Structure 1
Amino acid sequence: MADHITATRRSVIAGMTAASMAVALPAQGARRRMPKGFLWGAAISAHQSEGGNVASDSWLLEHLPETVYKEPSGDACDSLNRYQQDFAIARAIGLNCYRFGIEWARIEPEPGKFSIAALDHYRRVLTDCRAHGLLPIVTYSHFTVPRWFAMRGGWEVADSADLFARFCDTATRALGDQIGMASPFNEANIHLLAKLWRGAATPEYRAKRVAMIAAAAKATNAPAFSSILFADPDRIDGNLLDAQAKAYQAIKAGPGDFLVGVTLSTQAVEPFGENSVAARLESELYGSWWDAVNASDFVGVQTYTRMRADANGLMPPPEGAELTGAGYEYYPQALGHTIRLAARKTVRPIYVTETGIGTDNDARRIAWLDASIAEVERCQAEGIAVHSYIYWSLLDNFEWTQGYGQRFGLVDVDRASFVRSMKPSARHYARLIGERR
């Protein structure tokens, strides 16, 4: 396992999954028109695309000498200023929804001090999103938090849920009438996935991660600097569950009348051999988060690969496995597995809010789109109502500790000029949508 493994989903599952399998695409006649109201979309996050998120915990960590980040986020894709271009591209592809974040660190850069200018900005973003014919699907916290929040202990502190609910209440009062759907968190169980994979990191990497957090505490004169991607999962899980519940109530209080759900990191956990521990690992991956789903309006399935487990635990990939640019198994069939899992675990509506592939070979992205959409169609044919397919991501953006080296986007972004260029996969996605609409 490489030293750069972190708690981000697209990093923590890198290099540890099993061999890829060829996917038989459905015959032309087998294609199904999606039901009325089906959402075709792409996703992005605030920190990864906007740029200049200087008041966030991640910005500080990225710039420390002890950092585990390969490079800082910098200007990212400059979506803070170029969001209209992004919406226009999304609409040109034929999308009818767009999933993105509002950045807590911009809206509340100091505790209790809310930026009217930032809220006005996000209101313009939301109204412009709608003007482009796109339903805005909003994430209130996509991993990052304000630096002041991390300095006081982040999600490890008992009142963290109340502070997050206060932010959600303020943001919703200003923006709620323009929001189409929302979730308080992106991949609310990301810390539990990190816990499963933490043992795979080398001692050297674990020591470097600890040194980075210690350096952040020293640099900010904070007693207990804590960031969700590097925190102790056992210390934050209960507070995050509390935050989900309180944020749900704050957001539902309005204004606006929209679905508020839970997005999960949903990896297929498959058993191999006798006495496989797959069932135990799956239980640990989700903890009590299916209960949180059942107390909300929908579940967002976010799937990138599968895990295989034997009697000894997670299995490494065999020699010859096809790996994505992010280092894990190319396995789009995992999406069908997790949709079926969600259908067993909850009666709440199921949305695919993320799936995608990091690769420099756009032909493999095209194949991923074909295969993963086919999985949605198979599930629908089985009687499972799936309400969306949202690809991660629209743009080649900042991929956390891996920087700009992993390319998930349908659209290339020139790092110097920020010029956007649609890849063949974007045009292929447009064709797939047109055939099914």
Structure 2
Amino acid sequence: MANPFPEHFFWGAATSAPQSEGGQYEGGRSASTWDKWFELEPENFNSNQGPKNTTNVFDRYKEDTKLMSDINLNSYRTSISWNRLLPDGKTLNPQAVQYYRDYFKRLRDQGVEPIINLFHFDMPWWLMEKGGWENRESIDHFAFYARIAFEQFGDLVHYWTTFNEPIVHVTCGYLGEYHWPKVNNLKRAVQVAHHTNLAHAAAVVEFRKLGIEGKIGNILNLSPVYAKSNQAEDLQAKLNAETLHVKSFLEPTVNGEYPEHLITLLKDNDLLPHTLDGDKELISKGKVDFLGVNYYQPIRVEAVPTDEVNHPATSLGDFSRHYNWPEKKMNPYRGWEIYPEGIYDIAMMIKEDYGNIPFYISENGMGVSEEERFADDKGIIQDDYRIEFIYDHLANVQKAIDAGANCFGYHLWTFIDCWSWLNGYRNRYGFYRLILETGERIPKKSAFWIKDVIQQNQLIKLNQYDKGE
């Protein structure tokens, strides 16, 4: 039998307001970039599934909090909708306050600790029209929003985070076409990243000022970076990738400053962001109490052929290239590598290089399409593949804890199948199956398995588990 997990370990799941909340324009909520983008270009969204088509937690949170308790979850991470709490960025929406307070109170009443995030890719449209994160005004707007959230819910929420995967709205919105505003400009992307780091720090400052009970963190998608070989060129590519993809937000969040190699790379390529006096001091005040770590897959890189390097750089591909590791195991539905050992390597990096700061696995999971193929005659999805995936990753979490890592929890993405941006409901991730036509929630086999794992506070192998009914 496996070793038990630490006492008071956070067992839970994660989602976000834009992907689960629903109530698109109900209760005083205004539009986000996702709402407007779908109105402008619905053809870009899978099966015409826009942000209105979510799990509808806005109307069903009373039921959902009970479902969490039913499978023994003791914690849950979601986000507040900036657009709902402050529809115009200035005016507090009393309907939103009532909704969130009741939601968070019901979570606590069910023994579920709420971990509440402030920004999960849902930029308010009124702010995007002013330039979004490219506009320095966004820093003050975000700090104001954060302070209002802390004031309104600080008595109910003791674990706060500022951003979810802040590098993603940078790379997907300013180096690609997966987030609005769909531009591809490395210089603008760097400026957005800098403003995002400043916004994070400004929110932390507001939290410290208020002196409310609780802790504040940041949720980063941290992936171990592996080089193709030990040749100098590949190791340099690894250093570049670690610096740009991992440490560009990790170092400011934990150490309060940018890594020197990042500054060197940006300076050498004429990519340094525009800064003002006081930026460095503000970044230094953004150090957190804990980290959320989203882990899905590693980053594998190799050197860029010399004759293919642009200088100054025009994309991140000028610093490293993806390496297609021939031994990789893949999730064919999502196109991501499955490498549970990476979660141990990240934990060890945090332990050895970042003062063993407390962290929890804030997202981990696998998306599978057409899961109804695996339903039994009672409608229960027999998702043995998900149980195996979670088991293997949790085994590496446990290995890291045994080696001294300061990990205090594990959250699956997600609780109930949720809407996934441009992908809609193409892939399913949840402990609970969502019936799109009715909104009904049906537990999957993995829900019954995790219930027993949590009850025993230790892993149960799939071959020792035959429930799910």
Task: Report TM bin, short chain.
Answer: 0.7 to 0.9
In 1, are the aligned partners of 2:170 and 2:192 still within 8 Å (CA)?
A: no
Give the Cα–Cα distance (whole angstroms) in 2 for the partners of residues 187 and 427 of structure 1.
29
- 1:34 is aligned to 2:5: yes
SS at match of 2:141: helix
In 2, are the aligned partners of 1:266 and 1:338 still within 8 Å (CA)?
A: yes
The residue aligned with 1:9 is: none
| Correspondence 1:4-19 to 2 at 5 A | none
- 1:43 is aligned to 2:14: yes
The residue aligned with 2:240 is: 280
Choose 317-326 or 119-128, whichever is displaced more: 317-326
In 1, are the aligned partners of 2:226 and 2:300 still within 8 Å (CA)?
A: yes
Alignment partner of 1:142 out of 99, 115, 120: 120
In 2, are the aligned partners of 1:301 and 1:354 still within 8 Å (CA)?
A: yes
The residue aligned with 2:144 is: 166
Equivalenced residue count is: 385
SS at match of 2:150: helix
Choose 173-182 or 184-193, whichever is displaced more: 184-193
In 2, are the aligned partners of 1:192 and 1:284 still within 8 Å (CA)?
A: no
The residue aligned with 1:64 is: 40
Counterpart code for 2:297 = T
In 1, are the aligned partners of 2:197 and 2:252 still within 8 Å (CA)?
A: no
Distance 1:406 1:93, change over 3 A: same
| Correspondence 1:263-342 to 2 at 5 A | 263-273=219-229, 274=231, 275-276=233-234, 277-285=237-245, 286-294=247-255, 295-312=287-304, 313-316=321-324, 318=326, 321-342=329-350
CA displacement, residues 203-229 of structure 1 (integer Å, 9 cap, x when unaligned): xxx5xx79x748xxxxxxxxxxx9x9x
- 1:90 is aligned to 2:59: no
The residue aligned with 2:359 is: 350
Distance 1:358 1:288, change over 3 A: closer
In 2, are the aligned partners of 1:412 and 1:421 still within 8 Å (CA)?
A: yes
Give the Cα–Cα distance (whole angstroms) in 2 for the partners of residues 263 and 350 of structure 1.
9
| Correspondence 1:110-259 to 2 at 5 A | 110-191=88-169, 194=172, 198=175, 213=181, 232-254=188-210, 256-259=212-215
Give the Cα–Cα distance (whole angstroms) in 1 for the partners of residues 431 and 115 of structure 2.
19
SS at match of 1:261: strand
Choose 330-339 or 264-273, whichever is displaced more: 330-339
- 1:436 is aligned to 2:407: no
Distance 1:77 1:255, change over 3 A: farther
Counterpart code for 1:261 = G
- 1:397 is aligned to 2:418: yes
The residue aligned with 1:19 is: none
Distance 1:320 1:334, change over 3 A: closer
CA displacement, residues 298-356 of structure 1 (integer Å, 9 cap, x when unaligned): 11111001121122321236498432421111222221122222223322212111111
RMSD: 2.5
Give the Cα–Cα distance (whole angstroms) in 2 for the partners of residues 37 and 253 of structure 1.
29
Counterpart code for 1:327 = G
The sequence identity of aligned pairs, in percent, is: 26
CA displacement, residues 104-148 of structure 1 (integer Å, 9 cap, x when unaligned): 011111131221111121111111110110111000111102210
Give the Cα–Cα distance (whole angstroms) in 2 for the partners of residues 36 and 252 of structure 1.
28
SS at match of 1:189: helix
Counterpart code for 1:306 = P
Distance 1:67 1:164, change over 3 A: farther
Tell me: higher relative CO, structure 1 or 2? Use CA pairs within 8 A at least 6 residues apart.
1
Give the Cα–Cα distance (whole angstroms) in 1 for the partners of residues 78 and 249 of structure 2.
26
Residue ranges of structure 2 left out of the alignment (5+ in a row): 26-30, 256-286, 305-320, 375-382, 459-469
Counterpart code for 2:52 = G
Deviation at residue 183 of structure 1 after TM alignment: 0.4
Distance 1:231 1:351, change over 3 A: farther
Distance 1:231 1:433, change over 3 A: farther
- 1:75 is aligned to 2:53: yes
Residue ranges of structure 1 left out of the alignment (5+ in a row): 1-27, 215-225
Give the Cα–Cα distance (whole angstroms) in 2 for the partners of residues 299 and 256 of structure 1.
19
Give the Cα–Cα distance (whole angstroms) in 2 for the partners of residues 108 and 412 of structure 1.
32
Distance 1:170 1:137, change over 3 A: same
Deviation at residue 399 of structure 1 after TM alignment: 0.7
CA displacement, residues 157-187 of structure 1 (integer Å, 9 cap, x when unaligned): 0121111010111121111110020101111
The residue aligned with 1:14 is: none
TM-score (norm 2): 0.77
Counterpart code for 2:32 = S
